[in-house]
Amino acid sequence: MRLDPSNPFAAPSALPYQLTPWADVRPEHYLPAADAGIDELLSSLQRLADDPEPPTIGNVIEAWESSSQLLGRVLGAFYTVQPADTTDELDAVETELSPKLARLSDAMYQNRALFERVGALDARVAAGELDATDADRYWIETHLRDFVRAGVSLPEADQARLRELNARLAELTSAFGRTALAGSNAAAVLVTDEAELAGASESTLAGARAAAEGRGLDGWLLELDSCTPQDVLTELDDPALRERVHLASVSRGWQGEHDTRELLVEIARLRAERASLLGYRHHAEYVAADACAKTSEAVREMLHRLVSPAVRNARAEASDLQQLQSEQLRPADWEYRAEQLKAQRYSFDTALLRPYLELERVLHEGVFAAATGLFGITFAERGDLAGYNDEVRVFEVFDADGTGLGLFLADYYTRAGKQGGAWMNNIVDQNHLLGQQPVVVNNLNIVKPPAGRPTLLSWGEVNTMFHEFGHALHGLLSDTRYPSQSGANTPRDFVEFPSQVNELWSFDPGLLRRYAVHHATGEPLPAAWIENLRAAEVFNQGWATTEILAASLLDQAWHSTPLADLPESADEVERFEAQALAAAGVDFPLAPTRYRSTYFKHIFEGGYAAAYYSYLWSEVLDADTSAWFLANGGLTRANGERYRRLLLARGGSIEAMDTFRDFRGADPDISHLLLRRGLAA
C-alpha cells in the first residue's frame, strides 16, 4: 500500500528531534499511515525471512529494527494523543486500529520462516561465527522467546484460534478503556450548594467551578480520580458529600450504559483460554515468565509477605481514626479523618502546603533541578515547538556538555478527553542504529485553576511529578543501539523502578529549599513542617499498602483462576471479586481495593494484566536503591553518573535484573521496603 505523500507521516518529521508535526496531523491521517506502515513492515520482514544469504547481525537484527519506521512514527503519535486528548474520531480510529495491530503481531510472530531465520542467527552466534554484543544476544533471546509465546510452534488450527483470540481481545480491551473513561466522566459529582463544600481548599473550589462551567453546568463539579481513593475526600467536612463522592467512585461500571462487566468477564476468559493454548496454567504464569519475577509463585510470595503486617497496621490505624468521630467509621471517612489525625500528630495540615507548592517552581527548581544535580542535564522551553494540545509544553534537554539530548513534553492538566491517572510515553525512541534522539511526554491530571491564578499542588501531585519524570529520564538517558531496547522498554515489573527512585528527590533538603517556597510571599516552607512531613511518611501506610495489595491480588485472581472457575456473566463479577479479596486476606472494608474490577483499566485495557504487582515489586528495587543513594551522599553527580551509566542508559538491552545487580552489586533486599512502609516487625 502506497501512502499519499501529503500525509504528515509519509516522511520523517523535519522538526527538531523528529517531533511529530501536530499542527499538520488530523484524525483521518492515522489509519492510512498505520495501514501503509503495517504493509511496509510485513513486506520487509518477509524479505528478511526469505534472504538466501547466511544470517548476520546486519541482515537480521539491524534489518528488522530498521523496517518499522513509518509504523513507529504513526503509533508514537497516535498513542500519545489518544489517551491524553481523545475525541470521538480518535476513539473510532483506536477501535479499528487495535485489531489490526493484533493481527500484525500474529503475522510476525507466527511466521515460521522468520522464526527459523532468527534461530539460524542464534546458532551462528553460539558457534562463535559472528561477533555479537550482549545487546545482540539479548535481542535474539527475547525475540525467539516472543515467537514461542506467540504460538509459532503450535499446529495451524491452534494458531488460527490464537489469532481469533488476539483479535477479539484487542477489540474488548479497547472497548473497556473507552467505556470506563466515559463512566468516570459521567460519575463526576455535581454540587449546587456551596455550603456542602465546607473545608474544600480555594484551588479545589476553583477547579470544581471551572469543571462545571466546562460542561455547561451550574455549581461545582467534583471530577473523579481514576482509582477508588479520591483526593478531595481529605478536605470535605460534610459527611454526606463524602459518602456521595465515595459511592460515585466505587459504583463506576456496574450498571447502565457504562457497565464494563460483560467486557471484563470475556477478557479474563479469553486470556485464560489463550494461556492454556500456549501451554501455561493461566495468564498470570504466562506474564510472569517474561518478567523479572519469572514465576507466578514468586509474585504471590512477595505479595503475601506483605498482607499480614499491612492489614494488621490498617486495623490499628482504623482504631485511631474511630476516636475522631462518634459515628461508625466508613470508607468515605478514612481520608478525611486520616488528614485530621496527621495534623494532630505532626502539627501541621497538609492542605497548608499548597501555597508553597506552585507548579512552575516545583518543575524548574525541583524536578528539573534534581536531574541537573544528578546527571548535569539542563532544560530550555521551546515556545516555537507545539504539542497536540495548547496545554502541552515542549522543553529541549541538553546534556552536561551542552549537546542536545532530546525533547521533553509536559501535559499536566486534566480535561474531559483525557484518561485519568498519570503516565509517560515515548514519541521517538532513542537509538544509535537510526540516529534518533528521544522525545518523551509526561501526563498528569492536575485541576487547572482559572486564568491568571497559580497552579498550587498537593504533596501527592508533587510526588507524581517526580515519579513520572523518573520514567522520562529512563527514555531521555537511554544509550542503546536498537529502538526496541530503548529506555523504558523493559519488563513490566521493572519499568516502575526508576520512576519510584526519582520520588526520593522530592524530599532532598537542598531541593526543598529551592522549590517549596510560598508563591505570594517568597517565604520557604518552614523547616519544622519539612521534618514533620518526613516523619509522616510512615503514617497511614497500613491502609495505603492494603489498598494497593488488594488491587494486586485481585488482578492475580482474575488471571490465575482456571477458566472453568471464572465468571461466565456480569452477575457473577461482584461475588468473584469479594471472594478473591477474602481468600487473599485483604477484605478489610475500610481499605477498599485501589481499583474495583469494573474500572481497573490497568489490567483490562492497559499492559498490566497479571502485572499490577509490578508497582510493589519495583518498590522493592526502589527502596533498596534509595537506601544506597542516601548511604552514599544522596543527590550527587557521581551517584547520578553511576546510576545513569549502569542502569538507565542500558534500557532493555540486557536482562533487567542484571542491570540492577551491576548497579547495586547484590540482589535487592526487601527489608528496605518493609522499613519504609512501617511494616517491619
Q: Which residues are catalytic?
A: 468
Alpha-carbon gap, residue 205 to 200, rounded angstroms: 6
Q: Smallest Cα–Cα separation from 405: which of 332, 286, 487, 344?
A: 487
Grid coordinates of 437: 534522539
Alpha-carbon gap, residue 123 to 115, rounded angstroms: 12
Grid coordinates of 601: 483499566
- Locate cell 526519582: which residue? 502
Question: Is residue 407 a contact partner of residue 394, using CB atoms and an 8 Å limit?
Answer: yes
SS3 state of residue 445:
strand
533: Cα separation from own chain's centroid: 26
Q: Smallest Cα–Cα separation from 408: which of 449, 448, 437, 433?
A: 437
Question: Is residue 113 a contact partner of residue 181, using CB atoms and an 8 Å limit?
Answer: no
Grid coordinates of 426: 515515548
Task: Report phi then psi at 446, rounded to 5.
Answer: -85, 135
Helix, strand and coil in the chain, % to nearest 5: 60, 5, 30
| DSSP output for 405-439 | EEEEEEEEE--TTS-SS-EEEEEE--BTTTTB--E
Task: Report phi then psi at 618, rounded to 5.
Answer: -65, -30
The region, left, alpha or beta by phi > 0 then psi within -120 to 50, assigned to residue 513 is alpha
The amino acid present at 371, given as its one-letter code, is A
DSSP at 52: -
Alpha-carbon gap, residue 232 to 196, rounded angstroms: 13
SS3 state of residue 229:
coil
Question: Is residue 483 a contact partner of residue 73, using CB atoms and an 8 Å limit?
Answer: no
Half-sphere exposure at residue 543, Cβ-oriented, CA atoms within 13 angstroms: 22
Question: Is residue 116 a contact partner of residue 51, using CB atoms and an 8 Å limit?
Answer: no
- Locate cell 460534610: which residue? 238
